[in-house]
Structure 1
């Protein structure tokens, strides 16, 4: 039995040679492949293939493609590898109209810029012109052309804390409520510098304060459903919830509950 287990060196030598040859061939193939990859890389970097040939922009409505490319600092013909894509994204996100930017390379030399813009929630009236206002309080420099979208028109607001708070409140409301608002006036009182007055598309008026506007205005559809649509008046959301008809001096308490402050 022991003799059967013994393998002679003469029998093992051919197998060892084959194994060595395989390892040598693998190493040679690896070295040759690596060499060709390095050659290809050098050729790529030295050729026009590594230069930016085209730039695509998507997701933009508030800013033109040309402006976004200009802000990115990317130029056609520049090396795609010398520019830091993350740095380009940061440059674009400095624009108050852009919430998020993503820049990617489509090999070999095409760049794709995808932007997510801030949301347009209202218009600010300045004289006879209406300027779009974004959810972060940014007022665009270019006035709206033609018929504006069905969004609230803001009057007597100025860029600053009150406008930012107004836009933050609108952002928290459902779209159907925002679209039901026709006009919003900034009308500060001695007792409340954050008082606002709203005129709704359904003919009702709302008196509110920015302190609790988003919390109470969410109940507007339920409150209106309890009122006679033929009797218009003011829905007071400043303290509690009250309705006062235009042709009546008395207040009728709405049954719709409003969160207490």
Structure 2
């Protein structure tokens, strides 16, 4: 062999020893690090450091956050790792206004409660109190103060539960855009129609209708309202045929009746 290509064994041995030493050191550092990580994990999971530190509620609109946290029974004394998500979700879903509850854990010790509530379809007005009715037709406890008109329509002069339920079913079949346009629904029975209703809309107009097939007939309201100018206020009749009766004629009739009296 050529003299330049010959590698001395004496030159190679120190290098091999150095490489082996570095490999052993790396392996030793890895095992020591793993050991300390395991020790830290054990200390974390077995101490109060692993307890729940923060509970966040998201998606709720009507049910107060404090009420939901109380119902969940989550506390800072409970371990983050021993949390039974399904059990907590079931507890929350027992609330009459909670449709769905989903728990998410955020490392190291935060729990998020995602709430989906039943829609409030209407409010029954009784003795000055406002009782919400959700999409399942369940009448809830009275709310404090007066609800927002954009939240859901008010049901006024309604006494019979079966008629209320029938009205709620009809509202459930309407798109949100039409329901949110209704301010009040008065039960105004007539001799020929005990289920007659009068609606007061947010645009200032009125609707005369009946509970039976109300949702089907009310679908025509946006089209009729769009054909009227903003100054054309009055009553839209949806009982049998659809027609519009301006307030001007009604007011003249009222003035005439007043004079006759």
Report matched runs for 1:43-192 at 5 Å.
Answer: 43-141=43-141, 143-150=142-149, 151-154=152-155, 155-156=158-159, 158=161, 162=166, 164-170=168-174, 172-174=175-177, 178-185=180-187
Identify the residue that residue 29 of structure 2 maps to in structure 1. Answer: 29
> What secondary structure is seen at the aligned counterpart in 2 of 1:62?
coil
Q: Distance in 2 between matches of 1:83 and 1:60?
A: 22
> What secondary structure is seen at the aligned counterpart in 1 of 2:208?
strand
Provide the TM-score with structure 2 as the length reference: 0.70
Q: By how many angstroms is 1:131 displaced?
A: 0.5
The reply on whether 1:217 has 2:218 as its aligned counterpart is yes
Pick closer, same or farther for the CA change 1:59–1:225 going to 2, 3 Å.
Answer: closer
Select the structure that is richer in helix.
2
Q: Distance in 1 between matches of 2:192 and 2:237?
A: 20
Is contact 2:197–2:208 with CA below 8 Å preserved after alignment? yes
Q: Distance in 2 between matches of 1:76 and 1:53?
A: 6
Q: Distance in 2 between matches of 1:212 and 1:101?
A: 33
Provide the TM-score with structure 1 as the length reference: 0.70
Aligned-pair Cα RMSD in Å: 4.0
Is contact 1:183–1:200 with CA below 8 Å preserved after alignment? yes
Is contact 1:184–1:198 with CA below 8 Å preserved after alignment? yes
Pick closer, same or farther for the CA change 1:196–1:2 going to 2, 3 Å.
Answer: farther
Task: Report Cα offsets for 1:62-106 as digits up to 9, x if no partner.
Answer: 223332123213233122211123442343234331234343445
Q: Distance in 1 between matches of 2:208 and 2:4?
A: 103
Gaps of 5+ in 1: 249-261
Task: Report Cα offsets for 1:119-144 as digits up to 9, x if no partner.
Answer: 33420234443212234433221x13
Q: By how many angstroms is 1:189 displaced?
A: 11
Q: Distance in 2 between matches of 1:104 and 1:168?
A: 31
Is contact 1:80–1:109 with CA below 8 Å preserved after alignment? yes
Identify the residue that residue 258 of structure 2 maps to in structure 1. Answer: none
Q: Distance in 2 between matches of 1:4 and 1:219?
A: 100
Is contact 1:136–1:167 with CA below 8 Å preserved after alignment? no
